[in-house]
A and B are shown apart, each in its own frame.
Chain A
Amino acid sequence: SVNPDLASERQTASFSVEKLTAWLDGGAEYTRMRRAVVQAIESDPVFSTENQYFQSQNERYEAAVRKAVHLQKKMHEMGWTDNSPEFKYIYRAVSGDIAFLLHRIFMRSITVLGSDKQIAKWIPLATQYQLIGSYAQTELGHGTYLQGLETTAVFDITTQEFILNTPKISAMKWWPGDMGRSATHTVVFAQLYIHGKCYGVHPFIVQIRSLQDHSLCPGITAGDIGPKMSFEHADNGFLMLQNVRVPRENMLNKFCEVQPDGTYVRRGSQQINYFTMTTVRISLISDEVVMPLMKACTIAVRYSVVRRQSTLKPGEQEAKILDYQTQQEKLLPQVAAAYAFHFTNNYLQELYNRGYSEIQRKNFDMLPELHALSSGFKAIITQFCTSAVEICLRACGGHGYSLLSGLPSLYTKILASCIYEGENTILLLQTARFLIKCFKAAKAGQPIPPSVTYLAAVKLGKCPARNKLDFLSPHIYTEAYEHMAIRLISSTAAKLQDLIQSGIKKYDAWNQCTVQLAQAAKAHCHYITVKNFAETVEKLEPKAGIQTIMKHLCDLFALHGIFSNAGAFLHDGYISGAQMDMVTASYLDLLPVIRKDAVPLVDAFDFTDKNLNSALGSYDGQVYQRLYEWAQKSPTNKQVSPAYEKYLKPLLHNTLSKL
């Protein structure tokens, strides 16, 4: 039965949860499909995550391999393929706890970077799992800065082979997933040398383990890199190469080729390489970043209406902790952010699809904009969602620290997203470089991409709001964000200009402005997020019945941003001190309004209990019983601890000297 404290929250919903869910999914038919996939996976015991929190790294790894193998069978059984619409829901259904994710990147890199001949040779083998692939780019000494990679591939004309080497310890490949124990092949990125001349980083297919007995191939040293903060299931690996020879045909050569005589040929645009990174960055936002935040919100909000603590009015029952203003102020902005970034993701997907079809038509004009936006958004969304998940964790008091709450695992996993696929600070600086360039172009009257046209229309003036209700108008707050973004971009551009004119070298000037540049990039992305949220709400049809609550969430997201970055809006007086008080008042007024719909808003994310895997966040709210039940299942309670006989007993009997 559902805990009455949770049931009562659902009775007072101001909107239909089912309708909101369907809207989030992009239509009721997608909701049906998603539920069918989740049902098929969760009803299969092989995919159970029941004892996950009690398992060792070894056990987690084995389970991930078992699931990945079983998934092939399951997909066949269900008639799903990698290209069918069901595919994108599988990952959600297994909660990402599965091996061979790098196998897919291996395949994708061959499809994108390989010639037709190479695709024809390797893709069928990979599809049939005759080999297991990985993707070896990052090294001990270098990550986001690819040009710095130190692995070498020297072309040997006499044998028509490349000789791959790890010349020093910092050149060792480090971190690639699936490489520690599983992979038989990997795509190695190495500096290509022909006749002693370096041609930069290129991809090579290298076999690392025997297809017969899985032992390491000659010249290969590989293994697991040891325990991490999370990802226990993944065998992130290291790889050292000593005079490993691969045939000339193993260099992926759609864009560059080494001919038998050693001639180096370049074809097509180098820009396409950026496109792969853009694809990965955009694709991870939904599953790896926004979804974990939605889960964390679900757990924390449900728990906050079940947990009662202290009294709000003397003599009354203890209050639900979600009725405290401070608790609302912690959680509700995170719920709003989860929605905001869900819509940002839709916006990016749309932009990406448009860009992709342009590229198919050999038009690369959209690439810089797409690259800049995907970098900046990857950075701000991962950063924002990571701290949001941590806020949810700490809003659950002591029980949040129990692994059984599900929150520590969500947190340790999402926080890796701030680093992988490009370290966030570096990504923000890439976006900033694009913005500065566009700003200069706009000033010179040149055309600029659509997402930054606002830079051309520099408006001066003050925020026109006269009372706190004015701050509930999207155009008022959107303009405030726009103004702030322009101010930060233009002042940083001016500063750069000044430094350069004063005789400082360009690179030094850039480094001296990087703190401001990163802030400007963030401001731009924040502005686009708010603007996109407001436009999304505007487009909603009133009859759907969800417009009102979405408008509240949009207001909350926008005002929370102003409230938390007050200095940036007050600076230069666009918003006055008195107006800032209005923002605060409006912001705090929204909390109790959204509070009423808090549970329905997280219910709409539609996670099953198995998917949440949380003693605190389940749909029925039977928090304490579940916590007690699950704790009793802990292996520490089943086995007799050897510590008692060995150490405690002698200690208790004061016979330690015999140890």
Chain B
Amino acid sequence: EALVINDPDFQHEDLNFLSRSQRYEQAIRKSSLMVMKLREYGIADPEEIYWFKSFVHRGRPEPLDLHLGMFLPTLLTQATPEQQDRFFMPAWNLEIIGTYAQTEMGHGTHLRGLETTATYDPATQEFILNSPTVTSIKWWPGGLGKTSNHAIVLAQLYTQGQCKGLHAFIVPIRQLGTHEPLPGITVGDIGPKFGYDEMDNGYLKMDNFRIPRENMLMKYAQVEPDGTYVKPLSDKLTYGTMVFIRSLIVGDSARSLSRACTIAIRYSAVRHQSELKQGEPEPQILDYQTQQYKLFPLLATAYAFHFVGAYIKDTYHRISGDINEGDLSELPELHALTAGLKAFTSWTANAGIEECRMACGGHGYSRCSGIPDIYVTFTPSCTYEGENTVMMLQTARFLVKSYTQVSSGQRVTGMVSYLNDLSRQRIQPQHVAARTVTVRINDPVSLVDAYKARAARLVEAAAKNLQTELNHRRSKEDAWNRTSVDLVRASEAHCHYVIVKLFTAKLSEISNAAVRAVMTELCLLYALYGISKNAGDFLQAGILTDAQITQVNQHVKELLAIIRPNAVALVDSFDFHDVHLGSVLGRYDGNVYENMFEWAKKSPLNKTQVHESFHKHLKPMQAKL
């Protein structure tokens, strides 16, 4: 970190004052330098590269993201040895800069709907790539607009007159040397977005563009010279990559929310406003209960998500050994779980960042607070790598499947094992709701049980509603659609349970007593706040009584006061450097107002004392009227 922050080459003007095209230019400059420095320092470990990169770009996207994060890894995992010889070293040396072109204007998460075609021509042993409709134009890939000269294109493969589904092809798009688009290729930038200013997200249209047969990534599926198609062995393998990327998003949810909390909590300790007691000095706004109620549950959430991200990563690393040996048994559950957790954490963090910004009042709205930037950079994660609602429904599919297994007498394992308890209750006529859980609201372990009961109840309710719809002789798809709101609720309850469980489990691993104490308070706050906000579920299922809910609400407020003295220390522990935080309000030294003034003086509108608009518009108007 210090390596980057102290390097004068990586310094530049505050990005808030630059235009889009200047920001793109700065990002490219830094990426180029970064590649050089990585070589210079001999940094090659992926984890170290990741950290180096995140310090260079301060956690912001950059045009080479897709080259480093998708193009190179895809070559490694899906290219044949011959293809690796041809493409990997040039790509490693950045003679080839690639991107990954999957999403089209008309289709995103629903991959089977992609329309780009790759038709095999045995006469010339080439694939002919086409964008047959407007909706089939590749749209959004990062680095595609201006930076890349190659792309891995996902297209429907046609050979011998048959469609064989989606496959990946290496497509050159710009001339090496001049960087001009190749004939048959239309490529450009998709225009301004909500954030991601430094990224040239692009479009790509192909008209009868021919590439050699050897440019199809053929480690798994193959097309032989005569056009014969050879099927891949398993399609579950791609799950691994998805799990990995979604686990990164969970980590990103934790980090982005932590940054926003750091800014909002430090600023709330610096800002004084109004009066609590007549005649006394204005208190820090962090002393107001409403302010604590906004921020501390988010602080607890940031910690919770941090542990969830670590758990998924560890589990992935643990089972990826098995995967390489062909044992895919644990993959479906992890895949289903990460889909839901990706959606749950990104939705929550997204709303949480906004809450933090709002908690900073008017100044939160200024770009100098840094929170608008965190928000616009983070919010697309609710959509990319799988639209959140679709992700929730994937998890629901797994939950319903597990429920059905339990109903037919089989046992399920892992995080869904609580569904096994449902079969034991089948003997009793009333549903799971009637089961009484003795909940002790001061005990995290007991709260895990409460969340477990809620998840079981909502999964069962959704599965039963689905069955009712099916009994009305609706088609499977129709019944599923008519139950999808219930199914999403079930998934949310399941994810919420998993998070409370993981947070609670983490407590016993903490050896330092003081740290364990404060983490226990945060864990309790996280769990109780969640109950308070979803009181309806707990009341309706009879898991908690009215009186207990009142106690929960009361205890939440007591915890706020308990956490208050440690609030700043808890965000300091996230250990964000000021440069990385990029916020005047969240500075470590708390000198907020002086620095806001310094920052504003640099605004482009202040470049001249009298703005040119005065001479162009104001003066003539005053003269005329």
Interface positions of A (Cβ within 8 A of B): 53-54, 56-58, 61-62, 65-66, 69, 72, 128-130, 132, 138, 140-145, 147-148, 169-170, 172, 174-175, 180-182, 211, 213-216, 223-229, 235, 238, 307-314, 318, 323-327, 329-330, 390, 393-394, 397-404, 407-408, 411-412, 415-416, 418-420, 423-425, 429, 505, 507-508, 511-512, 514-516, 518, 565-573, 577, 580-581, 588, 624-625, 627-628, 630-637, 639, 641-644, 646-654, 656-657, 659
Contacts and interface: CB of A to CB of B under 8 A. Distances in A.
B64 to A, nearest CB: 9
Nearest to B487: A326
A654 B191 contact: no
B609 interface: yes
A601 B448 CA distance: 44
Contact of A318 (B113, B139, B203): B113
Contacts of B604: 56-58
B25 A213 contact: no
Interface residues of B, number: 133
B105 A624 contact: yes
A242 B367 CA distance: 28
Given A54-B191, A577-B540, A214 B618 contact: yes
A418 B355 CA distance: 11
Given A309-B107, A648-B28, A659-B32, A514 B477 contact: no
Contacts of A325: 481-485
Q: What are the 3 A-B residue pairs with the smallest beta carbon separation, nearest first?
A: A566-B536, A567-B535, A408-B194
B21 interface: yes
A577 B433 contact: yes
A20 to B, nearest CB: 27
B169 interface: no
Nearest to B599: A226
A404 B203 CA distance: 14
Contacts of A569: 536
A643 B606 CA distance: 27
Given A403-B193, A512-B557, A652-B149, A397 B21 contact: no
Contacts of B550: 571
Contacts of A311: 477
B192 A143 contact: no
A567 B549 contact: yes
A108 to B, nearest CB: 20
A401 B383 contact: yes
Given A143-B362, A580-B540, A642-B25, A226 B19 contact: no
Interface stretch (B223-231, B238-246, B270-278, B314-322): B270-278
B275 to A, nearest CB: 8
A175 B597 contact: no
B190 A631 contact: yes
B191 A643 contact: no
A167 to B, nearest CB: 13
Contacts of B485: 325-326, 329, 588
B61 interface: no
Interface in B249-308: 271-274, 276-278, 282, 288-290, 293-294
B283 to A, nearest CB: 9
B602 interface: yes
A278 to B, nearest CB: 20
8 contacts: A56-B19, A174-B596, A223-B601, A227-B367, A624-B105, A631-B190, A636-B188, A637-B188
Given A181-B613, A223-B606, A572-B546, A646 B113 contact: no
Nearest to B196: A401
A631 B188 contact: yes
A170 B593 contact: yes
A181 B600 CA distance: 13
B289 A514 contact: yes
B77 interface: no
A145 B273 contact: yes
Interface in B589-625: 593-594, 596-597, 599-606, 609-614, 616-622, 625
Contact of A635 (B21, B137, B273): B21
Contacts of A130: 622, 625
A425 B288 CA distance: 11
A237 B483 CA distance: 52
Nearest to B603: A226
A228 B367 contact: yes
Interface in B176-216: 176, 179, 188-196, 200, 203
B113 A309 contact: yes
Nearest to B372: A229
Interface of B: 16-17, 19-21, 24-25, 28-29, 32-33, 35-36, 93-95, 97, 103, 105-110, 112-113, 134-135, 137, 139-140, 145-147, 149, 176, 179, 188-196, 200, 203, 271-274, 276-278, 282, 288-290, 293-294, 354, 358, 361-362, 364-368, 372, 376, 379-380, 382-384, 387-389, 393, 433, 475, 477-478, 481-485, 488, 532-542, 546, 549-550, 553, 557, 593-594, 596-597, 599-606, 609-614, 616-622, 625
Contact of A566 (B93, B192, B282, B535): B535
A420 B110 contact: no
Contacts of B149: 652
Contacts of A398: 103, 108, 139-140, 380, 383-384
A419 B354 CA distance: 12
Chief secondary structure at chain A's binding surface: helix
Contacts of A646: 25, 29
B367 A65 contact: no
B32 A650 contact: yes
A419 B358 contact: yes
Given A566-B540, A631-B189, A224 B481 contact: no
Contacts of A416: 365
A169 B149 CA distance: 52
Contacts of A307: 106
Nearest to A131: B622
Nearest to B201: A402
Nearest to A573: B546
A225 B600 contact: yes
Nearest to B134: A624
B617 A66 contact: yes
Nearest to A76: B625
Nearest to A394: B382
Given A569-B536, A572-B546, A648-B28, A214 B594 contact: no
A313 B272 contact: no
A53 B17 CA distance: 17
B478 to A, nearest CB: 7
Contact of A632 (B105, B188, B484, B621): B188
Given A313-B475, A507-B278, A636 B21 contact: yes
B277 A505 contact: yes
Given A175-B362, A309-B110, A570-B536, A314 B477 contact: yes
Nearest to B292: A515
Contacts of A636: 20-21, 24, 145-146, 188-189, 191, 200
Contacts of A310: 110, 112-113
B190 A634 contact: yes
Contact of A647 (B25, B482, B537): B25
A166 B484 CA distance: 59
A69 B361 CA distance: 32
A616 to B, nearest CB: 11
A508 B280 CA distance: 13
A226 B20 contact: no
A229 B367 contact: yes
Contacts of A224: 600, 603, 605-606
Nearest to B93: A654
A79 to B, nearest CB: 17
Given A62-B616, A214-B614, A515-B289, A138 B93 contact: no
Contacts of A308: 106
Contacts of A228: 365-367, 372
A325 B487 CA distance: 11
Given A312-B478, A394-B382, 10 more contacts: A54-B191, A401-B196, A407-B194, A507-B278, A514-B290, A570-B536, A637-B145, A643-B24, A646-B25, A657-B36
